[in-house]
Structure 1
Amino acid sequence: MIAALRNQTLSAFASPHAAAGLALVSLTAALVLMAGRLGPHPSLLQGWLLAFAIWSCAPVGSVTLLLIHRLTGGRWGVVAGAILRPLAATMPLVAIAFVPVLAGLTYIYPWAADASQIKPDIARWYLDQPWFVLRAVIALIGWSVLGVTFALGLGGRLLAALGLAFYGFTISMVAVDWFLSLEPHYVSTAFGSMIAIQQLLAALAVVAVLATTNFERRALSDIASLLIATVLGVVYLEYMTYVVAWYGDLPEKAEWFLRRSKDAWVGVLLVTFVAGAVLPFSMLLFEGLRRSRSGLRIVGLLLLFGTVMHFVWLMMPAFSAQAPAALTALGTLLTLTIASVLFGQGIASVEVHHAE
């Protein structure tokens, strides 16, 4: 299996489209890192982190869905595999894209710039730069190995089970590290689970958008049902986190929500909730739409828009220079998306070649 994985991986990465995608991510990451560290532009690295958070959802969610399908089976996974596998194969790009964050910790996270902002025991045993880097490297390498392995169809059920356990363990840590620790005084035990479900939702939304004529109506209905479950999961966890923080009279947690309920952030939240949850959920209640490719495509686009706005609402209020960070995030997201498309085309072409 190891020899087959090595040979197929080298073949996939050597394809022109995949090499172009890999080069685009690497070059863009290097440029942003140099500009963010050498110049007075920490907002570049903050914007890069926001774009990374949004863009990485679909690849990581695709890996998880492939693991789940390997264990449970189902026609939905067979049909959606043509989209999920190239997405999962982009995990090495996700690992590369996180390098600017690791190299610019002090420009992004307040605890990395000043350890006195958090409790001494937390700074020593958890939110410490070497520990942060170690947890990130373990997670990204593990996810990349799983993504490439199952993208090439080489993983077995035992590896899928172990992979899901590994994912559940790592996402609960790195989601807090990467995103929530932007404001280290706020903690949430449900945050990792919410991010995990958001990743599943994003991957399924991409499948819905890219659904082709090969998708059977029964498979479309199954994907729609999974979309309903993940939408409800994200909304439930976000709402219950708010309820616990607010009605539990927890000042530090309430302050985190208050910061996101001022000025334009109320509008962002409302747009996110309506466009990213209420509208797609209402549309998915109709059986005819659940079996319609065009209907699911609209739902998928709404959910992807909701994912973008959700992460903007979660992370952007933590940044001081919000406008430059937002512009950087927009440009980065477009660049990473183009790189993903190129890389995915290269992986898909290799799959077709092997099938023939």
Structure 2
Amino acid sequence: MSSNPTASSMTPSYEEAHAPGTQGIKIHWEAARSKRAAMIGFVVGAIGVALTLIGIGVDRTAAFGSWIFAYMLFLAIALGSMFFVLMHHITASRWGTTVRRLAEASMSTLPLFALLFVPVLVGLHDLFHWTHAEDVAKDAILTAKAPYLNIPFFYIRAFIYFAVWIGLSVYLTRKSALQDKGNGLHILGQMRTASAPGMLLFALSLTFAAFDWLMSLSPHWFSTIFGVYYFAGAVQGALAMIIIVAMFLQRAGLVHRMITVEHYHDLGKLLFGFTVFFAYIAFSQYFLIWYANIPEETEWFLHRWGPWAGLSIALIFFTFVLPFFVLLSRVAKRTAPILLLGALLVLVGRAIDMYWLVMPSLDHHGHGPHLSWMNFTALLGIGGLYVGLLCWRLGKNALVPVGDPLLRSSMGHENV
């Protein structure tokens, strides 16, 4: 969508980024309003988390299953936001400059997820069959996987994942904030330099985290493209979140003329593209496993039919069919209500997909879907904390990188 700018094309200074054309636009979310929104999120989140943790005494499997379902859903959005920022820098994107801070605010919630991972560690034996030594000893497949699927190595890998994510998040958000104080061109170069190796670390860490925290819920099953499957859904969810947050801020009277219909058009194109990409990866995974007909692999999909057939069909419609037709036309991507509908459908699809990945793996008796009140409290808890921290982060700095030398170019972006 943009070419790599040369040094001469990037020469606008900090002062030029504040030249007429940007003045008079509200680019700061008032501290009182952002703190109020954050407080609402934190209160709702705290209540949801407390109720879910109380639920451990009622049904440990349901409580921890609900927790990891909600956890992996919102973690995916934060990680998808990190991908957006990394890709923005690697491709030297101009158009994405005005929406970059929204993605940065989302990825800056990643330290929260390190804290929220503690209940997953507490519930290891309730979630992961491979943590039971006596069962592993009786199972040839689990015994063969034991050098990788063991508790000490699980802890070590989790520490590495969070170190990578938090390190990248802190570095990029701090550098972005420094741009507002001047020397934007030099800082932009630093962020681009860090983003190339950062993307490699991001790809590896996300892939193995998906293996560890989702795929190993059914330790007999394996899929070499499961990491790509989780990645595609993560970016799809993050793009939907960016669209919704941008519209929310503009309804609050902020960043008008900064985020235009042209930016929504590009966000819509990316959302549509990743909707198709997710469907392609999901079908490829299913088709290859069905065609190979290996019992350990096909059992995973067979278990998600039968009593879970209704949810599987809903998954197809909400992650692909409905968003596909809603977002297909150019007009839809440039019409706020239609684009918003597409984004909301995607987020519903993300929740269905995560529930479909987690809950059947914990349904050891084949009873089928059983909505628990803990499913909803976990969503409110982790989602509330994520939204609260997101609002707080949005209020910390300008909503657009006013010191970025490409801001003026981004404001004038047009699709052809």
String of CA shifts for 1:203-256, please: whole Å, max 9, x gaps: 001112223343212211111111122111211111111111111121111111
Is residue 96 of structure 1 aligned with residue 139 of structure 2? Answer: no
Measured after TM superposition, the shift of residue 355 of structure 1 is 7.0
Q: How far apart, in 2, do the equivalents of 1:153 and 1:326 lie?
A: 43
Map residues 177-188 of structure 1 onto 2, 5 A cutoff.
177-188=212-223
Is residue 315 of structure 1 aligned with residue 358 of structure 2? Answer: yes
Residue correspondences, number: 340
Map residues 155-194 of structure 1 onto 2, 5 A cutoff.
156-194=191-229
Q: How far apart, in 1, do the equivalents of 2:219 and 2:363 lie?
A: 15
145-154 vs 196-205, which deviates more?
145-154
Measured after TM superposition, the shift of residue 22 of structure 1 is 7.1
Which residue pairs with 1:228 in the alignment? Answer: 272
| TM-score of the pair, normalised by structure 2 | 0.75
Q: How far apart, in 1, do the equivalents of 2:112 and 2:151 lie?
A: 22
- Is the partner of 2:149 in helix, strand or coil? coil
Which residue pairs with 1:79 in the alignment? Answer: 98
Mark the CA change 1:164 to 1:19 in structure 2 (over 3 Å): closer, same or farther: farther
Map residues 1-356 of structure 1 onto 2, 5 A cutoff.
32=52, 36=56, 41-113=60-132, 114-116=135-137, 117=139, 118-123=141-146, 125-154=147-176, 156-212=191-247, 213=250, 214=256, 215-263=259-307, 265-320=308-363, 326-352=372-398
166-175 vs 275-284, which deviates more?
275-284
Mark the CA change 1:21 to 1:141 in structure 2 (over 3 Å): closer, same or farther: farther
Ranked by relative contact order (alpha carbons within 8 Å, sequence separation 6 or more), the top structure is 2
Measured after TM superposition, the shift of residue 177 of structure 1 is 0.6
Larger Rg: 2
Higher helix share: 1
- AA aligned to 1:143 is W
String of CA shifts for 1:13-49, please: whole Å, max 9, x gaps: xx9676886798689668756763x776232112101
- Is the partner of 2:397 in helix, strand or coil? helix
* Identical aligned residues as a percent: 28
Q: How far apart, in 2, do the equivalents of 1:105 and 1:34 lie?
A: 17
- AA aligned to 2:348 is F
Mark the CA change 1:326 to 1:160 in structure 2 (over 3 Å): closer, same or farther: farther
String of CA shifts for 1:299-334, please: whole Å, max 9, x gaps: 000000011111111221111387777432321111
Q: How far apart, in 1, do the equivalents of 2:235 and 2:388 lie?
A: 22
| TM-score of the pair, normalised by structure 1 | 0.86
Q: How far apart, in 1, do the equivalents of 2:60 and 2:292 lie?
A: 39
- AA aligned to 1:208 is I
The Cα RMSD (Å) is 2.8
- Is the partner of 2:398 in helix, strand or coil? helix
Q: How far apart, in 1, do the equivalents of 2:306 and 2:83 lie?
A: 35
CA contact (8 A) 1:172 1:193 kept: yes
Mark the CA change 1:76 to 1:195 in structure 2 (over 3 Å): closer, same or farther: farther
Mark the CA change 1:163 to 1:329 in structure 2 (over 3 Å): closer, same or farther: farther
CA contact (8 A) 1:246 1:254 kept: yes
Mark the CA change 1:230 to 1:296 in structure 2 (over 3 Å): closer, same or farther: same
CA contact (8 A) 1:208 1:293 kept: no
Q: How far apart, in 1, do the equivalents of 2:237 and 2:47 lie?
A: 26
Q: How far apart, in 2, do the equivalents of 1:196 and 1:303 lie?
A: 14
Q: How far apart, in 2, do the equivalents of 1:296 and 1:95 lie?
A: 32
- AA aligned to 2:109 is T
String of CA shifts for 1:98-132, please: whole Å, max 9, x gaps: 11112221111011124334432421x20000111
- AA aligned to 1:71 is I
CA contact (8 A) 1:59 1:87 kept: yes
Which residue pairs with 2:21 in the alignment? Answer: none
- AA aligned to 2:238 is A
Mark the CA change 1:244 to 1:95 in structure 2 (over 3 Å): closer, same or farther: same
- Is the partner of 1:152 in helix, strand or coil? helix
Unaligned runs of 5+ in 1: 1-11
- AA aligned to 2:318 is A
Mark the CA change 1:274 to 1:326 in structure 2 (over 3 Å): closer, same or farther: same
Q: How far apart, in 2, do the equivalents of 1:295 and 1:35 lie?
A: 39
Which residue pairs with 2:179 in the alignment? Answer: none
- Is the partner of 2:246 in helix, strand or coil? coil
Unaligned runs of 5+ in 2: 1-30, 177-189, 251-255, 404-416
